[in-house]
Structure 1
Amino acid sequence: MSASRITFVEGQATQPQALERVVAHVRERLAQAGLERLTGAERPLFTGIGASYAALAVPVATLRAEGVVTQRVLADEIEDGTRGFETDLLVGVSQGGRSSETIAAFKAAGPVPTLAVLNVTPSPLGDLADLRVDLGNEPDSYASTNGFTGTVVALDLIAGAIAGRADDPWDGIAGRVSVVRAGAAGVIEGLRARVARCTSADVVASGASRASAEEGALLLREVVRMPATASVTRTYLHGEMESAGGTLHVVFGDGREVELARSLAGAGHQTLLVTTGEVAPGEDLAVVRLPACAPAVRVVLETVVVQELVAALSDERGIPIESFVFANDDTKEGGVDPADFLIASPV
């Protein structure tokens, strides 16, 4: 069985129900025999590439908050093995299970136990892994919607299992996603024409929301073809923000991020702040309010906002969503599936 391909817009529309299914499926999967070994992991190492690597900011933040020694590393950095990391569990993420770099990392893992987190089963990465957690072959778009947010859900549940968390924060996720999407759509509709004229984008966040920033920058590149960079809040303050000019600034957060967004907007730079705080919008400051929630849930909701933004900008710029320009045949085992491009680019 394999996940079916849907359009980006279909992914947005079906995401609330898809995430409810993922929550139920992963909870059930984690309760099965064999996965109790997760509770014994003391130094998990997380790896992936692209959007999968971005999602790994979530379990790393969750586990560090619980005092667990962990980190994420790009899969191509451990294609020669895990020496120097002192890990007792290698967790590899690849939604389709075919990312060549993550497969190479698993082949080089040696005696270190491996856990594959994927959507599609069966898959080459899953076949290599000692343990597997899948999302249930959820339909997904080529520029990922359900696959990315579902992976965030799964990674948080896995981190909770490793840390021995008593419960999880995912009940009612469908309703939260629907409400946030509706609110974001109204805000973004009012600024889409101005934002579409921006020549680049900076996406800024800290903590677990670094996943949102990295995925946001990737989607702006993939879908809108807008050069975009993800930055960490404190690093952005140390000089990176000086290049502002013709730039869209997307800022996630409630702390120093609020004043950062106000500073950028006050200098005349188009800024979108996604926050749980009560922040008044301004001429160059648009604000999307989120409900108070756990960091991992927040990442899903922040990603929903970004998805709405890139869909609107793609439409405003007249760029068919997922009409990818480059098909790199060496990034997926078995090569690129031409069917992905047929559904993405019907014209």
Structure 2
Amino acid sequence: MTSGSRITFLEGQAGQGAALERIADRVRTRLAGPGTTALRTARRPLFTGIGASYAALAAPVRQLRASGVVTQRVLASEIERGTTGFDTDCLIAVSQGGRSCETVAALRSAAPGITRTALLNVAASPLGTLADLTVDLGNEPDSYASTIGYTGTVVALDLVAGAIAGRPAADDPWHRIAERSAAVHGQAAEVIAGLRERGARCVAADAVAAGASRASAEEGALLLREVVRMTAAASATRNYLHGGMESAGNTLHLVFGDGREIELARTLAGAGHLTLLVTTAEAAEAAEAAVVRLPRCADAARVVLETVVVQELVAQLSAERGLPIESFVFANDDTKEGGLDGAQFGGAARSPVR
């Protein structure tokens, strides 16, 4: 973040609920104000990002398609040289710090006539400077392995998608999000405490979900790699059933969902594999897997609550492994405009790319 307003991962967890309510209020006001007509009236929005920002895009794409809006998400690296081949009237580029090189290049290369929109936390950034219009989270302090920045992005993307789809104000899902996230965090902390010792000994992890919750699976796999340094992969539920699950063995399985996911979790746990099921289904109580039960809510709110569970999981596993959450291993010099903060990479292996 260009502001330098860094907090620790644990501080991000603790302050997340209140921050999400601030972000929701800010984004609602921005979308209702002048200068956002081109965004609110977009008929073929194209979402782009990289890393965690790309993961978050699964939620608004699912929401808009359900409303009949033609949309998709694409990795920013795939459109660094332009949007040729994509039928879009509005490119929505997402980067929490506004400095991801691939996302900046994608927005810069958008074809003439496309509304270039930046959704970001830090408005005063290379991405914000390029955009025709911006929607920002308010420069909220965030941790290096993102907490508030990621979940706040999910909130903002939902409100943008709601504005494009013409969602009634009464269906806004963000009221009482601080209260709901605190309740889920408390439950998750207790459940995960019971599996953390075995979980820390796992050699790899699979995160599995369908629909909007694919955002949670992708973010979960990323955080397990970044924070716990555990090999992890994200899969769509039906694809995982077609052979992906066959490599289970001394592995952690993180399963999100209420449908086929429940039987999947039971199968994995019944075969002796460590499994955490995150669901709203009451029937899951009989499962052999560890279960965190969420309240029923809109898809995007569910993604935020699933992420609260994921954040607690990686916090406890990293503590069990004796790994500092804030210290990354590899410093790739070509991922951020203006370079990286070397203080975050003590003893890191640096990329030779300049």
Q: Which residue of structure 2 lines up, in the alignment, with residue 72 of structure 1?
A: 73
Q: Which residue of structure 2 lines up, in the alignment, with residue 88 of structure 1?
A: 89
2:243 paired residue among 239, 246, 259: 239
Give 1:36 shift.
2.1
Matched, 1:302 2:306: yes
Please list the CA deviations of residues 8-61 of structure 1 after superposition, one character each: whole Å capped at 9, or x if unmatched. 000001101111110111111111101122232111000000000000001100
Conserved? CA contact 1:189–1:312, under 8 Å = yes
Give 1:2 shift.
2.5
Deviates more, 1:110-119 or 1:301-310: 110-119
1:280 paired residue among 277, 285, 301: 285
CA distance in 2, matches of 1:182, 1:62: 28
CA distance in 2, matches of 1:338, 1:232: 36
Count of aligned positions: 342
Alignment of 1:202-217 (within 5 A): 202-217=206-221
Matched, 1:182 2:182: no
Please list the CA deviations of residues 245-298 of structure 1 after superposition, one character each: whole Å capped at 9, or x if unmatched. 111000000000000000101111110000001212565x10000000000000
Conserved? CA contact 2:252–2:273, under 8 Å = yes
Give 1:339 shift.
4.2
CA distance in 1, matches of 2:38, 2:47: 16
Conserved? CA contact 2:93–2:118, under 8 Å = yes
Matched, 1:324 2:328: yes
Residue 277 of structure 2 aligns to a residue whose secondary structure is strand
CA distance in 2, matches of 1:40, 1:209: 26
CA distance in 1, matches of 2:159, 2:226: 28
C-alpha distance 323-339 of structure 1, shift in aligned 2 (>3 A):
closer
Conserved? CA contact 2:204–2:250, under 8 Å = yes
Give 1:338 shift.
2.6
Alignment of 1:126-275 (within 5 A): 126-167=128-169, 168-275=172-279
CA distance in 1, matches of 2:204, 2:61: 29
Opposite residue 117 of structure 1, the aligned amino acid is L
Deviates more, 1:330-339 or 1:225-234: 330-339
Residue 332 of structure 2 aligns to a residue whose secondary structure is coil
Conserved? CA contact 1:3–1:138, under 8 Å = no
Opposite residue 215 of structure 1, the aligned amino acid is E
Please list the CA deviations of residues 138-167 of structure 1 after superposition, one character each: whole Å capped at 9, or x if unmatched. 000000000000000000000001111112
Residue 179 of structure 2 aligns to a residue whose secondary structure is helix
The normalised TM-score by structure 2 is 0.95
CA distance in 1, matches of 2:323, 2:344: 17
CA distance in 2, matches of 1:162, 1:104: 25
Opposite residue 237 of structure 2, the aligned amino acid is T
Structure 2, unaligned runs of 5 or more: 347-354
CA distance in 1, matches of 2:291, 2:230: 21
Please list the CA deviations of residues 293-317 of structure 1 after superposition, one character each: whole Å capped at 9, or x if unmatched. 0000000000000000000000000
Q: Which residue of structure 1 lines up, in the alignment, with residue 349 of structure 2?
A: none
Identity within the alignment, %:
73
Structure 1, unaligned runs of 5 or more: 343-347
Opposite residue 241 of structure 2, the aligned amino acid is L
Q: Which residue of structure 2 lines up, in the alignment, with residue 40 of structure 1?
A: 41
Residue 102 of structure 1 aligns to a residue whose secondary structure is helix
Give 1:323 shift.
1.3
Residue 280 of structure 1 aligns to a residue whose secondary structure is helix
Give 1:113 shift.
1.2
CA RMSD of aligned residues (A): 1.3
Give 1:341 shift.
4.6
Q: Which residue of structure 2 lines up, in the alignment, with residue 55 of structure 1?
A: 56
Give 1:3 shift.
5.7
Conserved? CA contact 2:84–2:111, under 8 Å = no
CA distance in 1, matches of 2:105, 2:236: 29
Conserved? CA contact 2:116–2:132, under 8 Å = yes
Give 1:132 shift.
0.1
The normalised TM-score by structure 1 is 0.96
Residue 218 of structure 1 aligns to a residue whose secondary structure is helix
Residue 331 of structure 2 aligns to a residue whose secondary structure is coil
CA distance in 1, matches of 2:323, 2:41: 48
